[in-house]
């Protein structure tokens, strides 16, 4: 067994870390306060080839696979949870359906656009259901030259920045999962509106919006895969992308852990450094152990995917464990900081807010446990 990155992966991590330290770390807190998407940094990511890192080489992508995408996501998340979610959605889940089921024309159009730094979104969740998406309300009708979409999506990451995206709609709710189809859509087309922006707990530099489709026309070649395959495409995309959320949680947890260790060394109470108190040492020991376990689960799942496996159980385990471990680590980091940990003056306060949603999006912890149990028990 090999437990470490190879030389190429280590060099890549060092390069991304250097970029993040100079271009993201100094600005991330301000982007949060201003609730502003950092377009200038996004364009730098595109110039460095990070936006197309994991996309197929024959269409202008980097062809690097999930491991590299997770390394980049972890490093970005260490500095900015919001930037990292924009990244893992636009360059991951939003592109996965197109890469796996798209026509050569769709791949030839959207992969280079993603590589050039256009932002994409993935629009599945509706007001009536996020975990249970089969009873979908958004409808489509077939016309002579394409389809007409009507309905709305909610909680869509990159809603304000995306110039294109993947959206799911049903022909007839009575048809259940067999009625759902997937479409690529363009922002600048009549009938499309970006609706309400959610006022979130954290990750403020990333927009999360309602998307409204009103008599919105798409051509026939906007269909991804076959009619009726939409739910399979959605679930496969999420299955493939889930490990990136584990990497995001890992990055946030690492940032909180590093701050906790630094502060425990510097801050003094009762005549000695906090880190010399056993209660604080235990918090650090538990965090170091959980961080390592999360890292191993995450990169093993990414490696399995790069070997051509679906790795549904392993990705779910990685996402479940890394996100919940990150929650415990951020909680302890705030505790070690004491009063200042509860203020905007301490970065750990931001990490704790940014972490929380990693237990919710791309499948809640309950849905991960469900997926793991079904795999273990062999339930269809
Ligand atoms: C910041 C943010 C960004 C997001 N970005 C996107 C995006 O880009 N695209 C997109 O499509 N969606 C996105 N979402 C939506 C997200 O995926 C959903 O919020 C999530 O899947 C949960 O769905 P829900 O909110 O409808 O909760 P519900 O499904 O209503 O669940 C509520 C609670 O009940 C639990 N629960 C539900 N069913 C069961 C069950 N059978 N057994 C046990 N417990 C159960 C859930 O785990 C949860 O704790 C985003 C959400 C947030 C907050």
Interval between CA 63 and ligand 1 midpoint (Å): 31
Q: Are 313 and 372 in contact (CB under 8 A)?
A: yes
The tens place of each residue's pLDDT in the chain, 380 residues long, gives: 888 899 999 999 999 999 999 999 999 999 999 999 999 999 999 999 999 999 999 999 999 999 999 999 999 999 999 999 999 999 999 999 999 999 999 999 999 999 999 999 999 999 988 999 888 999 999 999 999 999 999 999 999 999 999 999 999 999 988 999 999 999 999 999 999 999 999 999 999 999 999 999 999 999 999 999 999 999 999 999 999 999 999 999 999 999 999 999 999 999 999 999 999 999 999 999 999 999 999 999 999 999 999 999 999 999 999 999 999 999 999 999 999 999 999 999 999 999 999 999 999 999 999 999 999 999 87
- CA nearest ligand 1 atom 31, residue: 131
Q: Report the distance separating Cα 198 and Cα 5, nearest Å.
A: 38
**pTM (two decimals):** 0.97
> What is the DSSP annotation of 223-264?
EESSTT-HHHHHHHHHHHHHHHHHHHHHHHHHHHHHHHHHHH
Integer distance in angstroms from the first to the last C-alpha of the chain? Answer: 32
| pLDDT at residue 1 in the model | 82
CA–CA dist 99, 132 (Å, integer): 25
- For 292, the token pair is 């390592």
The question of whether 266 is a catalytic residue gets the answer no
Ligand 1 center–CA 132 separation, angstroms? 8
| Ligand 1 binding pocket, CB closer than 6 Å | 89, 121-125, 129-132, 155-157, 200, 208, 357, 360-361, 364, 366-367
Query: Measured between alpha carbons, how far is 154 from 78 in angstroms, rounded to an integer?
Result: 27
Half-sphere exposure of 87 (CA within 13 A, CB side): 33
Nearest CA to ligand 1 atom 6: 156
Q: How many helices and strands, by DSSP H and E, does the chain display?
A: 12, 10
Q: Check if 7-119 and 239-377 are the same fold.
A: no
The active-site residue, picked from 18, 259, 362, 366, is 362
Show Cβ contacts of residue 225 under 8 Å, excluding neighbours closer than 6 positions: 97, 101, 102, 181, 182, 232, 233
> What is the distance between the alpha carbons of residues 25 and 192, in angstroms, rounded to a whole number?
35
**Cα–Cα distance, 363 to 371 (Å, whole number):** 10
Domain over 239-377 is classified CATH 1.10.287.3510: no
Q: Could you give the CA distance from residue 303 to residue 297 in angstroms, rounded to a whole number?
A: 10
Pairing of strands 164-170, 208-219: unpaired
Q: How far apart are CA 56 and CA 60, in angstroms?
A: 7
Nearest to 336 by CA among 288, 272, 265: 265
The region, left, alpha or beta by phi > 0 then psi within -120 to 50, assigned to residue 10 is alpha
Q: Which of 35, 77, 121, 155 most suits a substitution to test ligand 1, by most atoms within 8 Å of the C-beta?
A: 155
Reduce the DSSP state of residue 70 to 3 states and report it. helix
Residue nearest to atom 7 of ligand 1 (CA): 156
Answer whether 300's CB lies under 8 Å from 294's CB. Answer: no
CB 201 within 8 A of CB 180: no
CATH superfamily of 7-119: Acyl-CoA dehydrogenase/oxidase, N-terminal domain (1.10.540.10)
CATH architecture of 121-231: Beta Barrel (2.40)
How is the chain split into domains, by residue range?
A: 7-119, 121-231, 239-377
């Amino acid at each position: 067994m090999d437990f470490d990155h190879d030389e190429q992966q280590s060099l890549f991590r060092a390069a991304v870390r250097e970029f993040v330290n100079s271009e993201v770390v100094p600005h991330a807190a301000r982007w949060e306060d201003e609730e502003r998407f950092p377009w200038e940094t996004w364009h730098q990511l595109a110039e460095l080839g990070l936006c197309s890192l994991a996309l197929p080489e024959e269409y202008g992508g980097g062809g690097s696979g999930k491991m590299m995408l997770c390394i980049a996501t972890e490093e970005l998340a260490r500095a900015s949870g919001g930037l990292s979610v924009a990244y893992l959605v636009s360059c991951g889940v939003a592109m996965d359906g197109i890469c796996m089921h798209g026509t050569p024309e769709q791949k030839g159009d959207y992969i280079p656009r993603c590589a050039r730094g256009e932002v994409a979104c993935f629009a599945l969740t509706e007001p009536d259901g996020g975990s249970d998406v089969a009873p979908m309300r958004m409808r489509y009708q077939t016309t002579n030259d394409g389809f007409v979409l009507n309905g709305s999506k909610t909680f869509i990451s990159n809603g304000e920045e995306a110039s294109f995206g993947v959206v799911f709609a049903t022909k007839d709710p009575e048809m259940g999962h067999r009625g759902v189809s997937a479409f690529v859509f363009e922002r600048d087309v009549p009938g499309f509106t970006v609706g309400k922006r959610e006022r979130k707990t954290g990750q403020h530099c990333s927009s999360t919006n309602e998307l409204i489709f009103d008599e919105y026309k798409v051509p026939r070649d906007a269909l991804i895969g076959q009619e009726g395959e939409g739910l399979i495409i959605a679930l496969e995309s999420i299955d493939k992308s889930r490990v990136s959320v584990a990497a995001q949680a890992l990055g946030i947890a690492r940032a909180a852990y590093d701050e906790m260790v630094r502060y425990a060394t510097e801050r003094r109470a009762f005549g000695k450094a906090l880190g010399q108190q056993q209660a604080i040492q235990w918090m650090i020991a538990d965090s170091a152990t959980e961080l390592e376990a999360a890292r191993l689960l995450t990169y093993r799942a990414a490696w399995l995917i790069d070997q051509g496996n679906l790795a549904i159980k392993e990705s779910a385990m990685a996402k479940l464990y890394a996100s919940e471990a990150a929650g415990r680590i951020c909680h302890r980091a705030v505790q070690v900081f004491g009063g200042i940990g509860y203020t905007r003056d301490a970065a750990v306060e931001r990490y704790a807010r940014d972490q929380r949603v990693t237990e919710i999006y791309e499948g809640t912890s309950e849905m991960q446990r469900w997926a793991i149990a079904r795999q273990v028990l062999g339930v269809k």
